[in-house]
Structures are given as structure tokens and as C-alpha cells.
């Protein structure tokens, strides 16, 4: 009986394809946790279809760009958990999360995604407001008299 158990454990360990693949993407203040599962190409963001979730077509197109570039849009179901930021930052976070998950699934896609700049984190953040100023760099209007 011990051999049978070891054999079953070895089979489970040897077939990780059933497991969902995970990737994390960040942009501005947004964080997207992405899971890829083999499927028909359904993309769900926070429980809603991605076309309904993102308010404009540019953001929704940008979110699934890694799937289009690698021609895998009908091979995986994508589930995304998004937190923080606005819709532009969220779309960028989803884009990066999907790209990282695709690389975790298949290392061969890394060159294509790298060529399109989908694996590089955009480091730009909003600069904080400084005391004594109207904004981050803007000063109050100067009064001569």
C-alpha cells in the first residue's frame, strides 16, 4: 500500500499543469493579482467581465495586450483581483500581471513580451505635495505689493 501512495504523490507532483499560474502586476498605486487557467479566454476582473469593468476601450485593450501579442487569448481563462489606483493604473497592473503569469507558464514567451515592453515595470509615481506649496512643485502666486 505504501508504494501505491508514493506513486500517486509522484503523479500529482509531476503534473503541475492543472494548477493555476499566478502573476502580480503593479502600476502607480494599483496592484493586480492574476491567475491563469486553461480555458476559453474569459477575463474576469473583480468578479466582472473586463469590458464592463474598464470604462474605456483603450484601458480594456491595454489590459489584455499580453494575450493578444502572444496569440493566447483563447487558451486561458484569466481571473484578476485588483486593488487601488484609477482605471489607467489598474489596466497597466493587469497588463503586467498577465505578462508575468504567461512567463511563469511558458518561458518561451519571455522574448516576445520583452520586445513589446510588457515585462518592464513603469516606475513613475505621483510626487507628493510639499508644505508651503500649492502642489508638488507649483508655488503660490507671487504678490508684489
List of domains in the chain: 18-115 (3.30.230.10)
Q: Per residue in 88-136, pLDDT tens? A: 999 999 999 999 999 999 899 999 999 999 999 999 999 999 999 999 9
CA distance 112 to 31: 23
Predicted local distance difference test score (pLDDT) of residue 55? 87
Residue with the three cell numbers 502666486 = 141
Q: For the stretch 21-48, what's the b/e string if a residue is b when 16 or more beta carbons lie within 10 angstroms of its beta carbon?
A: bebebbbbebbbbbbbeeeeeebbbeee
**Global model pTM greater than 0.85:** no
Task: Indicate the pairing of strand 48-49 with strand 43-45.
Answer: antiparallel
29 membership: H or E segment, kind and range: none
Amino acid at each position: 500500500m505504501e508504494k501505491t501512495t508514493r506513486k500517486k504523490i509522484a503523479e500529482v507532483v509531476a503534473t503541475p499543469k492543472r494548477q493555476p499560474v499566478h502573476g502580480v502586476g503593479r502600476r502607480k498605486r494599483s496592484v493586480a493579482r492574476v491567475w491563469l487557467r486553461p480555458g476559453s479566454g474569459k477575463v474576469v476582473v473583480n468578479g466582472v467581465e473586463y469590458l464592463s469593468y474598464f470604462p474605456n476601450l483603450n484601458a480594456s485593450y491595454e489590459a489584455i495586450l499580453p494575450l493578444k501579442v502572444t496569440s493566447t487569448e483563447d487558451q486561458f481563462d484569466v481571473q484578476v483581483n485588483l486593488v487601488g489606483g484609477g482605471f489607467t493604473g489598474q489596466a497597466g497592473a493587469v497588463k503586467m500581471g498577465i505578462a508575468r503569469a504567461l512567463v511563469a507558464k511558458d518561458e518561451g514567451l519571455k522574448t516576445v513580451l520583452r520586445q513589446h515592453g510588457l515585462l518592464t515595470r513603469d516606475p513613475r509615481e505621483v510626487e507628493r505635495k510639499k508644505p508651503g506649496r500649492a502642489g508638488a512643485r507649483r508655488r503660490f502666486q507671487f504678490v508684489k505689493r
